[in-house]
Amino acid sequence: MPHSQDTTPIVLTIAGSDSGGGAGIQADIKTISATGSYACSVITAITSQNTLGVSAIHPIPVEHVETQLDAVFSDLNVAAVKVGMLADVEIINMVAKKIRQYRPEYLVVDPVMIATSGDLLLKHRAIDVLKRELLPLADLITPNLPEAAALISCSVPKTEEEMGSMIEPLRALGAQAVLLKGGHLESDTSSNDLLIERDRSELLRAKRIDTPNTHGTGCTLSSAIASYLAQGNRLHKAVYLGKQYIAQAISHADELSIGQGYGPVNHFFSGHVNVR
């Protein structure tokens, strides 16, 4: 059920572990906590990863993914679920099965396929299963441009007009809404996203922040939106608040000095985060 005044909003993140701490489960837990909800987790894969890239991926045995899911849902009143990295077909099928079984109020799916570093995080043969089994269950999916292009089998758009041509094919994936993240567009001044709902679409404009420290931005944004949904906000407001949070986390990223590559955003950019 959604968050009310006398309950703690609980958000479950189902994703992979990032040993470098900037993305994946680690970024999700930081984000959910910083935005005022309680984070629990189901780990789907262990990655050997740092700010320079991903060197290995070890999927968790599917039966243990199942026992984690049952342990969480049988005890905790989960209001929203965020799904990130799902390493293989068996895990995708299991997560979809459990989402149908437990029917959380909100489901946000970040279809993690390609890391900021360019590393492929989802095997090609698993994409069709993701599209068939999980995406139609989602209230919101949050692909970046390369991920959206992979989902609908087109070339990666280079302009906002080309982004617009993706609206109907993305709607056809079956999710209630799509947040198409435009950060990969070749633009120096803006980083605009397209919120696609069943009967309308809206371009959400944001100023591009000049920093190389953007590791984990997709995980962070989707987790923030799930957190705000769990607190009872409608989708449009949850997306707006999530974008506010990630913009601030990116703008404060250079205050950190983590690693030699693409550093993380600054999830705890103030002692107590409250962007509501």
Confidence of residue 1 (pLDDT cuts 50, 70, 90): very low
Whether 69 maps to a domain, the answer reads yes
Whether 52 maps to a domain, the answer reads yes
Q: Residue 246's domain is classified under what CATH number?
A: 3.40.1190.20
3 pLDDT above the threshold of 90: no
Whether 77 maps to a domain, the answer reads yes
pLDDT of residue 115: 57
pLDDT of residue 44: 96
Whether 78 maps to a domain, the answer reads yes
Domain tally for the chain? 1
* Paired tokens of 59: 């999927």
Active-site annotation, residues:
181, 214, 216-219
The chain-wide mean pLDDT, for the chain, equals 90
Residue of higher predicted confidence among 117 and 130: 130
Whether 260 maps to a domain, the answer reads no
Select the highest-mean-pLDDT range: 68-77, 113-122, 150-159: 68-77
pLDDT of residue 138: 98
121 pLDDT above the threshold of 70: no
The residue ranges of DSSP E strands in 110-208, in sequence order, are 140-141, 177-181, 193-197, 201-204
Whether 154 maps to a domain, the answer reads no
For the chain, the straight-line distance linking the first and the last C-alpha, in angstroms and rounded, comes to 20
- What is the extent of the structural domain holding 32? 10-141+212-255
Integer Cα distance of 81 and 84 in angstroms: 10
Among the listed residues 30, 67, 25, 66, the one whose alpha carbon sits nearest the alpha carbon of residue 45: 25
List the beta bridge partners of residue 12: 40, 81
Whether 243 maps to a domain, the answer reads yes
Whether 150 maps to a domain, the answer reads no
Among the listed residues 121, 56, 52, 118, the one whose alpha carbon sits nearest the alpha carbon of residue 262: 52
pLDDT of residue 77: 96
pLDDT tens-place string over residues 193-224: 999 999 999 999 888 888 888 888 899 999 99
